[in-house]
Structures are given as structure tokens and as C-alpha cells.
Amino acid sequence: MMTPEAATLPNVRDGGRGSTDSGTGGDGWIALAIGALTFGVYASGACRTIYVGDSGELVAAVHVLGVPHPTGYPLYVLLGKLWTLAVAIGSIAFRMSLFSAACAAVASALLYGVARRMGCGRLAALFASLLAAFAPSFWGEANVQRVYALNAVFVIAAIWAALEWWQRRQTRMLLVAVFTCAVGATNHTFMALLGLTFGAFALIASPRTVLHPRALVAVSAVGVLGLLPYAYLPIASSFDPPLDWGNPETLAAFLDVVLRRDFWERAWLETPADLLPIGIDYVRGIAVELAWVGAALAAFGVWASRRSSFSYFLLATMAVNVLAMALHGSRSDLFIWHRYYIPSYLIAALFCGLGVDALAARWGNSIRFASLALPVFLLVSGWTRFDRSDYRIADDFSRQLLATLPPGASLSATDDNVLFVLIYLKMVEGVRPDVDLILQGVAGGAPDRLRFDPEKDPLYFSHHPNWDHPELDQIPVGLAFRVWRRDQPLPKLPMPPDELPAAADPGVPRDYLTDNLVGQYYFMLAFTAERDDWNRAAALLERAMREAPNNDVLFYNAGLIYERNGRRKEALDAFRRSHAINPRHIPGTSRARAWDKIVALEAEAID
């Protein structure tokens, strides 16, 4: 069995040529300065309004103490609620953006401490910390309302506790590491995987310590104690909050939410061969996040610390990160949103610090100073990209949608991009209290049957419901579909402007989800205009495709519009683009239907 002394990581702090570090005095002040600097950067670009994706639903859950989508994220909800009460600045959305900024800043400061504990000199540890802080995916989550910045705090804290245990073999630190992983798992399930990885590492490194009966009992006890925030879910649900995903009051419903049972069928992986493109994208992602040069430094750091068993624990954690994503991640999860790999990027940054010091030990202290240019480059190049202080596109889209609805309307909404923002505006800001928002797609949120008079009870859908009713039609009206009798003329209703105001500023950064939302805006206007003005509809359709160039579903739907208006070439181009974006042939999906359309249209051309 390897002893702590024999397994110590390379201590370039004292052994490197030109090193000026003589101890750890002053590290606390440096970590504090890192936290203050990064918080200032994140807070200055924090999103003032609600963001796209999960943000609206998560913030609404924080505000009403409800249950958001699986896994319920109880720790995020509870800490977020305390934060919004303590930090009374601006809207609830802005406060939760600042919460992410604070968490990301804490994670950056902690990473400096871990790098120092691993043997990095101050400059190398500073480099590692700032490199992670300004990496695109991490920065992208540091000023919006999501759970990943808080998860980063627990990832680094757990690695620190694991390192302390590995170096000292104290049972107390073993328990701290387990407790940190357990508590962190109530915010994000990756921490459970990190805990299992650490458990396997600890068992291999020191089986006597881990398998001691007292240690086993203590580990089990602190693990259960750390998971206690999950008790929030059934307790909160028992009060019937307006947001209560899955109603987790019974054991079966509770496990459905915590284990995400309804989400596993979304996996992109079909055969072992699919692991290759996932792995290539993962490695490429690390290179992009670390500005390529950092990836080379990280590889050198892995080589320099190859005699350390703790390095293998870190590498195993990265492997678990990508394997877990491969087994259950959707196409977007794997190839578009790299935020799920933030734990890997944080660990890679630690290896970068080790790599810098290893190089400096050979070629002098100037390497350490030169390395700081890399995070500075990321800071300068990313400033405009992640300055979301003027971002209001999601808010503007949903307000435009609500403004077109008549008094007393019912809106059945789906799609995270639309529904979750509406949830926030309705539950938190109280916009359009007269509109009944039906939470379609939220477990337990939509009624099984709808009874209504289409003329007296205006019913709208945010997306086409695909009904096949002999008397009722679903007519696009602005940004929603109105359910109306087929034999009755549609009354005049207010229409949104042809330009989404919040999307007009090219200086406001946009991501994949925002592009899709803007594309949806112009697509719905085109769909509405198709009835009366084809030229206007065609122009809006072209605009929609320009705004969302990577949305395969939008291109498929555009192809349908072109096809029914006799525009065969444009239809074929749209279907081909849809298939090129996502060629995976899944029966019943737009990808499969796009391919079928391509085959049919090409066959018609041949005939």
C-alpha cells in the first residue's frame, strides 16, 4: 500500500528553480483577492432579467419554495431563498444571478487553495484558479440563474477534503469528504458520482482505514445526514405550492423525482461506437475551455504527477464525468451545452497549475509569469461574450406573447425556453394575473382533459398541439396558437411587432437556446402571416432560419411551410439542413421525418 509520504504530489513550490514561495502564509489573502476579483467580473455582467432554459423554473421554485424539475435541487432552492431574502437588490432573477456569481467566485478561490495544497507555487496556483474562472463554460454559468456554479463549489470542496484525507489519513477528513459529496448531491447528482469515485479511491489507498467498523458506521451516518436536504421535497410538496413537479409526497413519486426516471430515455448513445464522437468532443472541449495552450499544460501536468495516486483519482473523476454524460446525455447535452463537463474543466485547470510548475522547474520562473497571459486572454476575449447585464430577450419574448392574449385567456405552454420563463413572470413578477398558465409538460401540472367553449373561453397553446378535431382548428396568432371553430371567422387580436426589440442589439450575447427563442419568434410571425401575405411570411421565415441556424426542428417546420406553398426547392433545402444538423435517425422524430421528406421530394424531382 502506498503511504502518504511516498505518494506526495511533486512539490515544485520548494524545488523549482527560481521559486520564491517559502510557505503558505498569505495564501488566505490571495484567495480572498481572487474571490473578490472574479465576483466583480461576474457581477458586472450578471443577467438582470430571467435567462433562458431552466432559469425561470428554478428561480420561481426559489421564490415560492416549490419543487422544480427532477432532481428537485433542494439545496439550490433553500440556499437561493435565503440569498434572495438577504440580498435585496433588484429583481429576484437578478439576485439569483448574483448568487451564481458568488458561488463561482468561492469556487475560484477554493481552487487556488487546492492547487497550493497539491504543491503548486503561488503563481501557478493563481494561474490555475484564474484559468478555470474565465474558461467559457464556467464563466457562462457564473452570472445566470442555474445550479452549476453552486455545484462547482462542492466539487472543489470535496476534492480539497479528499486531498487532505489522502495526505494525512485522518478519519475526520474522510467523513468531511463524504459529507461534502452527500450535501452537494442534493444540488446536483454529479456529486454522488464523485462520492462513489472517492469511495473506491479511498478503499484502494487505505482499505484498513475505510473498512474499519467504526469508520463504516460513521461514513454511513454522515452520508445520510448530508442527504437530509432532500426531505425538503415531500415537505414542500405537502403545502401544494404553485410549482410542484411530480408531487413527491409518496415514496414512489419522491424516487421518480430524485432519480429522474422520466429523463433517461433521452440518451443520444445507441451503440458503443457512439462513445468515439463523444470522447472526441470531450477532449476538444477541454482544449477550447483552456485556450488550447492550457490543454497542453494540463497534459504535461498529468505526466509530471504520474507517480501520485491522487492524480489518478482526479483522472478517474474526469472519466466518470464523461461516462455518465455519455450514458444518459441527449445530443444537446453532449455536443452543445458543455456546462455538464465543468467538473472536468476545474480538474484540468489543477493539472495546468502542476504543468506550469513542472516546466518552471526546468526552465525558470519566467514560465510562471508568462502563463498568467492565458487567463488574461480569456478574460479580455470573453468579456463581451459573457456580459449579460443588458440581456432581456427571454423576458421580452414572453411579455410579447402574454400581451397578445385577451383577458381571461388560458395558455397551455410547453418547451423549457418558453414555459419556464412564463412560470417566472407569472409566479414571481405577477405579469398578467388574469391569464391562466397551464403547465403543460410539467409533471402533474396539466389536466388530462380540457372542457371549454372556444368562443367564450379563449384557449391558446405556445406550440402546435397537433389535435385532429373535426370542429376545432389551431390557428397561429402572433406567438401562440388559438383554438377556434373551423366555421367561424377569427376575431382581430393584437399582434407583436415584426422585430423582437430585445434581440435588436448585436452587443447582447446570445447562446444556442437564445438563438432558438429568437428564431421561434420570427417563425411564429411567419406562420401567422402565411394565411394572408406569403411574401411577408417568406421574409420572416428566412429571418427565423438566420437567427437559429442550428435548430433542426425549426428547419423541418420551415420545410413544411415551404412545401405546402409549392416552394419545392426551398422545402428541400430546409429539410436537408434539418437532417444535416441532426442526422440521427430516431423513428417518429423530426430528424427521421426530415429524411423521409428529402427522399420523397427527390423522388418527385426524378419523376
Give residue-wise pLDDT tens across range 496-509: 999 999 999 999 99
Q: Which pLDDT value is given to residue 491? A: 77
Question: In 3D, which of 32, 114, 174 has the Cα closest to residue 351?
Answer: 114
pLDDT of 267: 87
Three cell numbers, residue 277: 464522437
Answer whether residue 462 shows pLDDT above 50. yes
Q: For 413, phi and psi rounded to 5 degrees?
A: -115, 150
Strand partners, 474: 483
Give the CA distances from residue 488 to residues 455, 473, 524, in Å, rounded to whole numbers and listed in that order. Answer: 9, 10, 22
Q: How many CA atoms does the CB half-sphere of 511 hold within 13 Å?
A: 21
Q: Are 406 and 458 in contact (CB under 8 A)?
A: yes
Least confident of 30-44, 300-314, 433-447, 581-595: 581-595
Model confidence over 192-248: pLDDT tens digits?
999 999 999 999 999 998 999 999 999 999 999 999 999 999 999 999 999 999 999
pLDDT averaged over the chain? 90
Single-letter amino acid, residue 56? G
The pLDDT of residue 572 is above 70: yes
Query: CA-CA distance, 200 to 273, in Å (whole number)?
Result: 28
Could you give the CA distance from residue 114 to residue 317 in angstroms, rounded to a whole number? 16
413 beta partners: 439
User: How large is the average pLDDT for residues 377-399?
Assistant: 97
**Range 90-96 average pLDDT:** 98
Q: Return the axis-axis angle of helices 552-564 and 512-529, rounded to nearest 10°.
A: 10
**Residue 568, number of CB atoms within 10 A of its CB:** 13
Backbone Cα Rg of the chain: 26
Task: Say yes or no to pLDDT of 18 above 50.
Answer: no
DSSP for 24-64 reads STTHHHHHHHHHHHHHHHHHHT--SS--TTTHHHHHHHHHH
Specify the pLDDT at position 92: 98
Question: For residue 433, what is its C-alpha cell?
Answer: 394575473
Range from 21-35, 123-137, 326-340, 388-402 carrying the lowest mean pLDDT: 21-35
pLDDT of residue 603: 65
For 546-560, the pLDDT digits (tens) are 999 999 999 999 999
